[in-house]
Amino acid sequence: MARSDSSRYPPGPRGYPFLGVLPHLRANPIRTFLDAADRYGDLVHLKAGPYHGFLLTDPAHIRHVLQDNARNYHKSPLYDRLRDNIGNGLLTSEDALWLRQRRLAQPAFHCPRLIAMAEAMVACTEQMLQRWDRTASIGEPVDLVAEMMALTQAIIVRTMFSTDLGEAAEVVNRTWPVINRRIGETFWATKLETTLPLPANRRFWRALGELEAVVYRIIAERRRSGRDEPDLLSMFLSARDDETGAGMSDRQLRDEVVTMLLAGHETTSLALSWTYYLLAQHPEIERGIAEEVGRVIGDRRPSFADLDKLPRTRRVIEESLRLYPPAWGFSRQALRDDEIGGYHIPKGALTFVIPFVVHRRPKLWPEPERFDPERFAPEQEAARHRFAYIPFGGGPRGCIGNHFAMAEAMLIVAGIAQRYRIELVPGQNIRAEPLITLRPSPGIRAILVKRASGDASSRPRAVS
Ligand code: HEM
C-alpha cells in the first residue's frame, strides 16, 4: 500500500516552521542528534532549513549509505564551507578527481611505508619526551591538547612532506584553531554570514592566508630542491595526467597538502588528548598499559613490530575513539531518490552519520557511557556489526589514514607510558565541543608524573 506523503518519512521532531530543527542544530548539534535518536529510534526524519534530513543510527543503514550504495551519495553541502576554505582535496572532492587523487595517495599509506614512518613517529615522540624531562622537573602543568597537537603536527609534516616546519609550526598551531572554530561555527550559517567582513570572518581569512603561505612554502622548497623523497608530496609532484601528461596544478597541490596537513594531525591529537582524559580517570587501566608496555618493550625504543603485541594499548585507544570520536559527525547528500529501512529518501536529502551518537546507542553498546576497553576484545568485536563502530567512517570514502593514525597513537601512548603517567589538574570542567572535530574545551591541563626509571610497570614516582 502506498504511504501518504508525510508517512513516507520516518518519525522525527517537528521543529520550527520553515527552519525545522536548524536552530537546535546550530545551538547544540550533538544534543539535538542524541535526543532525536533516543526519542525516535534508528531512523529519524529532521527537517533542517530547506533540506530533508535523516539521522541514521542503524549500522545496516549506515553501511547502505557509506558503502553499498555509496555511488548515490556525495558529501553534503555542509562540506561546502570546508571546500571553500581548505579546498577541493581528498576529503572534499568527488567522482573522477577524487578517485584519481585517492589512487595517487594510497601507496603512501601501504604497510612498508608505515613501517618506515613509524620510525619518524617514535623519533618525534622522543623529542617531545626530552622536552618533558626538562619541564616536568619544575612540576608545571602542561596544556595537553597543545602538546599532542604539536607532536602529531611534527609527525605529519615529517612523514608526508619529509620536512619540519621550524618556526612555521607556530603558525599552524595558532591558525588552525581559528579556522576549525570558524568553519565549525558556520557549518549551518548562510553564505552572507560567512562573507560579510565581520571581525570573526576577518580573523578567519587572515589565519587561512597565513596557513596557506606555510603550505606554499613546503611545496616551493621541494620544487627548488628537486629532492625525490619516498613521500606523499613526491607522489603528488610526480603525478602526470594519463591523457595530457600534465602535472597537478599548483592549486590542486595546495588543496591536497592543506587537506593532508589538517586531516592528518588534528584528529589524532584529539584522540590522544581524549585518551589521556579517560586514562586519568581510570588509573587501573592506565597501570595495565604501563604493565603491557613494560613487559613487551621494556626500556628500548618502541617500533612498528611491537604494535601487534600491545592489544591492551590498542583497545584503550579504540574505546577512547568510541566515546570521543574526533570526527564526531559527517553527512552525505542523495544524488537520486533512494529507500532506506522501507522509507523514501528523496533526491537532495541529507543523511547524517554521527559516530558520537551511534557509539552511544544502548542496543549496540550496553552501558554506553562506561569506559570499557574490553569491548574491543576479539570475541566482542566479532559479535558486532562492522558499521556499529565508525570513528574512521567506512566504505570508499573511509579514512585513508586509519592505520597510520592507530600506529601513531599506539607508538605515542607506548612511548609516554615508558616514562610518564599523566594526571589531570583537579577542578577542571572539561566538555566536548563539536566544531569540525570534537575538542576538549576549554582544554586539558595535565601534570606529568615521571615513572621510576628503568621499569615502566613499577608504581610511578611523583616528581617533586
Ligand atoms: C584518529 C585519527 C583520525 C580520525 C578519527 C579520522 C577520521 C576520518 C573520517 C571519519 C573520515 C571520513 C569523513 C567522511 O566520510 O566524510 C576521514 C577521511 C579522511 N582522513 Fe582521516 N581520521 C584520522 C586520521 C587521519 C590521518 C592520520 C590522515 C592522514 C595522514 C587522515 C586523512 C584523511 C583523508 C585524506 C580523508 C579523506 C579520504 C577520502 O575521502 O578519500 N586521517 N578521516
Enclosing H/E stretch for 440: strand 438-441
Residue found by looking up cell 592528518 in the block: 264
The residue whose C-alpha atom lies closest to atom 9 belonging to ligand 1 is 392
CA–centroid distance, 399 to ligand 1, in Å, is: 4
357-378 average pLDDT score: 98
302-315 average pLDDT score: 98
Is the pLDDT assigned to residue 431 strictly greater than 90?
Answer: yes
- pLDDT score at 126: 97
CA–centroid distance, 299 to ligand 1, in Å, is: 32
Which atom of ligand 1 lies closest to the CA of 397?
40
| Choice among 99-113, 376-390, 409-423 with the minimum mean pLDDT | 99-113
φ, ψ for residue 420 (rounded to 5)? -135, 155
Q: Which residues contact 181 (CB under 8 A, 6 or more apart)?
A: 435
Which atom of ligand 1 lies closest to the CA of 270?
1
Is the pLDDT assigned to residue 383 strictly greater than 90?
Answer: yes
- pLDDT score at 7: 64
| Choice among 77-81, 205-209, 366-370 with the minimum mean pLDDT | 77-81
Give, for ligand 1, the residue of 82, 267, 436 to mutate: max count of ligand atoms closer than 8 Å to Cβ.
Answer: 267
CA–centroid distance, 130 to ligand 1, in Å, is: 30
Is the pLDDT assigned to residue 339 strictly greater than 90?
Answer: yes
| Choice among 84-88, 275-279, 382-386, 439-443 with the minimum mean pLDDT | 84-88
- pLDDT score at 18: 87
Which atom of ligand 1 lies closest to the CA of 259?
35
The residue whose C-alpha atom lies closest to atom 17 belonging to ligand 1 is 399
Other Cβ atoms less than 10 A from the Cβ of 349: the count is 22
The residue whose C-alpha atom lies closest to atom 1 belonging to ligand 1 is 268
Other Cβ atoms less than 10 A from the Cβ of 325: the count is 27
DSSP string, 366-424: SSTTS--GGGGSHHHHHTS-GGG--TT--GGGS-TTHHHHHHHHHHHHHHHHHHEEEEE
DSSP string, 289-350: HHHHHHHHTTTSPP-GGGGGG-HHHHHHHHHHHHHS-SS--EEEEESS-EEETTEEE-TT-E
Using DSSP's 3-state secondary structure scheme, residue 87 falls into coil
Q: Of 81, 79, 105, 26, nearest to 208 (Cα)?
A: 81
Q: How far apart are CA 21 and CA 258, in angstroms?
A: 33
Is the pLDDT assigned to residue 327 strictly greater than 60?
Answer: yes
- pLDDT score at 3: 46
- pLDDT score at 337: 97
CA–centroid distance, 394 to ligand 1, in Å, is: 10
Residue type at position 257: V
Residue type at position 297: I
Q: Which residues contact 402 (CB under 8 A, 6 or more apart)?
A: 392
Q: How far apart are CA 20 and CA 431, in angstroms?
A: 27
CA–centroid distance, 398 to ligand 1, in Å, is: 7
Q: Are 106 and 364 in contact (CB under 8 A)?
A: no
The residue whose C-alpha atom lies closest to atom 30 belonging to ligand 1 is 264
- pLDDT score at 374: 98
Is the pLDDT assigned to residue 5 strictly greater than 60?
Answer: no
Per cent of the chain over pLDDT 90 is 70
| Neighbour-count burial of 341, counting CB atoms closer than 10 A to its CB (0-12 exposed, 13-18 middle, 19+ buried) | middle
Give, for ligand 1, the residue of 90, 316, 399 to mutate: max count of ligand atoms closer than 8 Å to Cβ.
Answer: 399
Specify the pairing of strand 350-353 against strand 51-56: parallel
CA–centroid distance, 259 to ligand 1, in Å, is: 10
Cβ < 6 A, ligand 1 pocket: 75, 90-91, 102, 259-260, 263-264, 267-268, 271, 326-327, 330, 391-393, 397, 399-401, 404-405
CA–centroid distance, 329 to ligand 1, in Å, is: 12
Is the pLDDT assigned to residue 198 strictly greater than 60?
Answer: yes
Residue 343 half-sphere exposure toward CB, CA atoms < 13 A: 22
Is the pLDDT assigned to residue 84 strictly greater than 90?
Answer: no
* Confidence grade of residue 394 (pLDDT, cut at 50, 70, 90): very high
Q: How far apart are CA 332 and CA 430, in angstroms?
A: 30
Is the pLDDT assigned to residue 296 strictly greater than 60?
Answer: yes
Q: Of 279, 294, 304, nearest to 117 (Cα)?
A: 304
E strand map for 21-178: 43-48, 51-56, 73-75, 142-143
Describe the crossing of helices 283-296 and 311-323 by its angle, rounded to 10 degrees.
140
Q: How far is CA 104 from the centre of its chain?
A: 22
The residue whose C-alpha atom lies closest to atom 16 belonging to ligand 1 is 330
Enclosing H/E stretch for 439: strand 438-441
376-397 average pLDDT score: 97
CA–centroid distance, 383 to ligand 1, in Å, is: 25
Q: How far apart are CA 19 and CA 31, in angstroms?
A: 18
87-108: burial string, b at 16+ Cβ within 10 Å, e else:
bbbbbbbeeeebeebeebbeeb
* Confidence grade of residue 108 (pLDDT, cut at 50, 70, 90): confident
- pLDDT score at 458: 41
* Confidence grade of residue 74 (pLDDT, cut at 50, 70, 90): very high
Is the pLDDT assigned to residue 463 strictly greater than 60?
Answer: no
262-281 average pLDDT score: 96
φ, ψ for residue 442 (rounded to 5)? -80, 5
**408 vs 218: which has the higher pLDDT:** 408
The residue whose C-alpha atom lies closest to atom 27 belonging to ligand 1 is 264
Which atom of ligand 1 lies closest to the CA of 271?
1
